[in-house]
A and B are shown apart, each in its own frame.
Chain A
Amino acid sequence: MSGATTSPPAEQLTVRLKKSFRGDSGSPFALNVDLAVAAGFTILFGASGAGKTTLLDCIAGLQTPDEGTIAIGEVVLFDSESRVNLPPRRRAAAYLLQSLALFPHMTVEQNVQYGLAALNQRDRDARSGEVLESFRISSLLQRRPNEISAGERQRVALARALVTRPRVLLLDEPLTALDAFTKARILDDLRAWNQRHRIPVLYVTHDREEVFALGEKAIVLEEGHILARGSPHEVLHRPQSETVAQLAGFENIFAGSVTGSHPEQGTMTCRIAGSTLDLEVPLVRVNAALPLCVGIRAGDILLASSKPHGLSARNVLDGTIASLEQRDMKVIAVVTCGPEFEVHLTLGARESLQLKPGARVWLVVKTYSCHVLQ
C-alpha cells in the first residue's frame, strides 16, 4: 500500500462479449466485441448508439452481457460459462460517467475519500493527498461540487475514481463540455498519472484533439462491432472507412504533402495527393517523414454559383456538382474539383443558388477550416 514509487505490473483488460441492446434510434443491435486493452490509453470511437456506453457498462458491471468473458490480467470479472459475475463494487474498475456523478452534498475531500472507507483516517488522508496533488485540486478540499468550475469538477471526479487504485479506468466522453485549454491541461495530468500507474484506460470520445493528445491505440465501434483498430493515425486516416472520418468530425479527409511553407503568414501550402490541387492550411509543426492528412468539415465549406471575389478565404476551388442528396433538413452535395468534396447546405441555399448536378460551382474554404492531421 505504499505510494506511487512502485508501479504494479501492467495488466491487460480482455473483453469478449455479446449483448443485444437498443441503440439510440431504438432499433436493437447486438454488441459483439473481442478486444484486449493494454496498459495505456486506448481510444474508443463510435457514433452515438454504436454500443460504446453499453460496452463500458458491461466492463464496470452496471450491465450484464448475454455471454462472454471479461478479465483484468488473471482476475475474472465476468464469465458466462463459469457463472462468474462480480458486482461493480468488487471489480476495481474506475468508471467516469459522463455526468461525473459527484455527490452534491459532500465536499471535494469527502467525495475523493468516498472510495477509501476500508482505510483508516491517516491512510485515507495520505492517499487522497497524493491524488489531489496529482490533479491540482488540493486547494478545493472544503468546497462543494456546485462551488467549483466545470474543469475542477472533472478533476475531482478523476481523483475520486483513481484514488481507489483501480485496475482499469473507463472514461465516457468525460471532457466534452470543456474548452480546449482546460481539456489539454487535464489530459496532461491524467497522462502523467498513468505514466506512474500503468493501467489500461478505455477512453470514449468524439474529439480529434483528445485522440491525438492521448491515443496510443484506437478502436472504432459501429453498430456493436469493431470496425477498425490500430494507432489513431491509422484508424483516423484510413480513407475507405467513412465512419471513422465522420467520427473524427471530418466528412472530407485528404492525404497530402506539404509543398510550401510561409511562416511569415502563419500558413503553408498542401498538395492533395493524386491531384494538382493546392490548399492553404494553417502552419503547424509536422513531421515531413510521416504521411499527412487535411480534414475539412462539410459544413465549413461555402458554395458559390459564380466565381467569388474579394474574400478573406484563401482557398477558392473550381468544381462541378456530382450529386445532390437531401437528408432530413440538410442537402449533401458532392463536388468534383479533381478530388471530391462533400459540402453540406441548407434547403434554402439549394433553392436560391438553383443548384443541380452538373452545375459549375466554386468552393470557398477558409485556411483555418483546413485541419492538418498527422
Chain B
Amino acid sequence: MIVQALTLTLRLAVMVSAILLVIGVPLAYWLAFSRRRWKFLVEAVVSLPIVLPPTVLGFYVLVAVGPLSPVGRWYQALTGHTLAFTFEGLVIGSVLYSLPFAVQPMATSFAAVDRTLLDASALLGASGWRTFWRIVLPLGLPGVLTGLVLSFAHTLGEFGVVLMIGGNIPGATQTVSILIYDQVQALDYATANRTALILLVLCFTMLAILYGLRRRGTWNVWEWR
C-alpha cells in the first residue's frame, strides 16, 4: 500500500517538475523581461494557486477536463477516456497547483541577472536565443533549481487538488497524502503515523538540502559581477 502510493507520488512529482521545467522556464523568462503593460495580469494568474483553496483549483480543473468541456471532449475523442480520475488528470492539476512555486524563483533569478551582461551579449552579436542559453540560464540556474525542488516538494504534499481531480484509486491516483487521509478515516492511527512520518522526512530532507546548498553558496558561485 505505502510503497505503491509512494511510488505513484514520486512519479507524479518527477513528471510535474519535468513539465514545469519545460513551461516554467520560458514563462519565467517572459515575466522577467517582458515590458507588456498587461504583464501584471499574468503574474496574478500564475500566483493564484498560492492563495486559492486547492479544492477550488481542483474543482475548476475537474470541470475543465470533464466530458462537458471542449478540452475534455477532445481528449476523450483522442484516447477514449476522460482525464478526470486518471493519473494524467492528476498531472495537469498538479502542474497548475505548483506553477507559482516553480516560476517565481526562476523569474526572480532571471530578473536578477545584470542587464549590462545582456547588453554586452547583444553588442557582441548574440541573438536573444543565444543570450538566453549562454548568459541568462547559466546565471539564473540557482533559481531554476530552487523552482524545481520547490515544485517537487510541493507536489509530494498536495492533497486537495488530487482528491478533487483524481479521487482515491490505489495505483492510479492514490498519493501518499490521500493514503494518510484514508488510514486516519479507518482509525488506523499507527499506519497513518508511519506514512506521515515518511512524507515528513522526505520533504524535510529535500528542503534541508536545498537551503543547505544555498547557504554554502554552491548555487551562487557567480558572486563577482
Please pick, from B119, B122, B126, the residue contacting A117 in the complex, using a CB distance under 8 A.
B126
Please pick, from B123, B130, B135, B221, the residue contacting A103 in the complex, using a CB distance under 8 A.
B135
Nearest-neighbour CB distance to chain A for B222, whole angstroms, equals 4
Residues of the A chain whose Cβ atoms lie less than 8 Å from the Cβ of B224:
104, 144-146
Whole-angstrom CA separation of A87 from B121 in the bound complex: 12
Is A115 close to B, CB under 8 A? yes
Q: Mark A113-142, 1 if CB is under 8 A from B, else 0.
A: 011011000000000000000000000000
The contact size tier of chain A is 20 to 34
Residues of the B chain whose Cβ atoms lie less than 8 Å from the Cβ of A84:
none
Please pick, from B117, B126, B139, B223, the residue contacting A89 in the complex, using a CB distance under 8 A.
B126
Q: Is the CB of B123 within 8 A of A105?
A: no
Closest 3 CB pairs of A and B: A146-B224, A115-B124, A101-B120
Show 24 residue pairs from A and B whose CB-CB distance is below 8 angstroms, ordered by the A residue: A60-B123, A62-B123, A88-B119, A89-B125, A90-B125, A93-B123, A97-B116, A97-B119, A99-B116, A99-B225, A101-B120, A103-B121, A103-B134, A103-B135, A104-B139, A104-B225, A105-B222, A114-B124, A115-B126, A117-B126, A144-B224, A146-B224, A160-B124, A161-B123
Q: Is the CB of A101 within 8 A of B139?
A: no
Q: Mark B14-47, 1 if CB is under 8 A from A, else 0.
A: 0000000000000000000000000000000000
Residues of the B chain whose Cβ atoms lie less than 8 Å from the Cβ of A103:
117, 120-121, 134-135
Is B171 close to A, CB under 8 A? no
CB within 8 Å of B: which residues of A?
Answer: 60, 62, 87-95, 97, 99, 101-105, 114-115, 117-118, 144-146, 160-161, 164
CB within 8 Å of A: which residues of B?
Answer: 114, 116-117, 119-127, 130, 134-135, 138-139, 221-225
Whole-angstrom CA separation of A115 from B122 in the bound complex: 9
Interface of B is mostly: helix
Q: Is the CB of B127 within 8 A of A105?
A: no
Whole-angstrom CA separation of A105 from B224 in the bound complex: 9
Q: Is the CB of A101 within 8 A of B119?
A: yes
Q: Is the CB of A117 within 8 A of B223?
A: no
Nearest-neighbour CB distance to chain B for A238, whole angstroms, equals 34
Q: Which residue of B lies closest to A145 (CB)?
A: B224
Whole-angstrom CA separation of A101 from B121 in the bound complex: 9
Residues of the A chain whose Cβ atoms lie less than 8 Å from the Cβ of B116:
97, 99, 101
* Contact of A105 with B138 at beta-carbon distance under 8 Å, contacts A95-B123, A117-B125 already known: yes
Q: Is the CB of A114 within 8 A of B225?
A: no
Q: Which residue of B lies closest to A99 (CB)?
A: B116
Residues of the B chain whose Cβ atoms lie less than 8 Å from the Cβ of A87:
122
Whole-angstrom CA separation of A104 from B114 in the bound complex: 10
Q: Is the CB of B130 within 8 A of A117?
A: yes
Most chain-B Cβ atoms within 10 A of its Cβ — which of A92, A94, A103, A144? A103
Q: Is the CB of A104 within 8 A of B222?
A: yes
Whole-angstrom CA separation of A45 from B76 in the bound complex: 71
* Contact of A89 with B120 at beta-carbon distance under 8 Å, contacts A105-B138, A105-B222 already known: no
Q: Which residue of A lies closest to B122 (CB)?
A: A88
Residues of the A chain whose Cβ atoms lie less than 8 Å from the Cβ of B127:
89
Residues of the B chain whose Cβ atoms lie less than 8 Å from the Cβ of A99:
114, 116, 225
Residues of the B chain whose Cβ atoms lie less than 8 Å from the Cβ of A62:
119, 123
A-B contact sample (19 more), CB < 8 A, given A62-B123, A89-B122, A101-B120: A60-B123, A88-B122, A89-B124, A89-B125, A89-B127, A95-B123, A101-B119, A103-B135, A104-B224, A104-B225, A105-B138, A105-B139, A114-B121, A114-B126, A115-B124, A115-B125, A117-B125, A146-B224, A164-B125
Residues of the A chain whose Cβ atoms lie less than 8 Å from the Cβ of B135:
103
Residues of the A chain whose Cβ atoms lie less than 8 Å from the Cβ of B120:
97, 101-103
Nearest-neighbour CB distance to chain B for A226, whole angstroms, equals 25
Residues of the A chain whose Cβ atoms lie less than 8 Å from the Cβ of B222:
104-105
Residues of the B chain whose Cβ atoms lie less than 8 Å from the Cβ of A105:
138-139, 221-222
Nearest-neighbour CB distance to chain B for A199, whole angstroms, equals 15
Residues of the B chain whose Cβ atoms lie less than 8 Å from the Cβ of A94:
123
Q: Which residue of A lies closest to B224 (CB)?
A: A146
Q: Which residue of A lies closest to B138 (CB)?
A: A105
Q: Is the CB of B119 within 8 A of A164?
A: no
Q: Is the CB of A164 within 8 A of B223?
A: no
Residues of the B chain whose Cβ atoms lie less than 8 Å from the Cβ of A91:
123
Please pick, from B119, B134, B223, the residue contacting A114 in the complex, using a CB distance under 8 A.
B134
Q: Which residue of B lies closest to A147 (CB)?
A: B224
Nearest-neighbour CB distance to chain A for B128, whole angstroms, equals 9
Please pick, from B114, B124, B221, the residue contacting A164 in the complex, using a CB distance under 8 A.
B124
Whole-angstrom CA separation of A94 from B125 in the bound complex: 10
Nearest-neighbour CB distance to chain A for B90, whole angstroms, equals 38
Nearest-neighbour CB distance to chain A for B82, whole angstroms, equals 47
Residues of the B chain whose Cβ atoms lie less than 8 Å from the Cβ of A104:
139, 222-225
Whole-angstrom CA separation of A150 from B18 in the bound complex: 42
* Contact of A146 with B122 at beta-carbon distance under 8 Å, contacts A105-B138, A114-B134 already known: no
Q: Is the CB of B123 within 8 A of A88?
A: yes
Whole-angstrom CA separation of A67 from B149 in the bound complex: 50
Whole-angstrom CA separation of A117 from B122 in the bound complex: 12
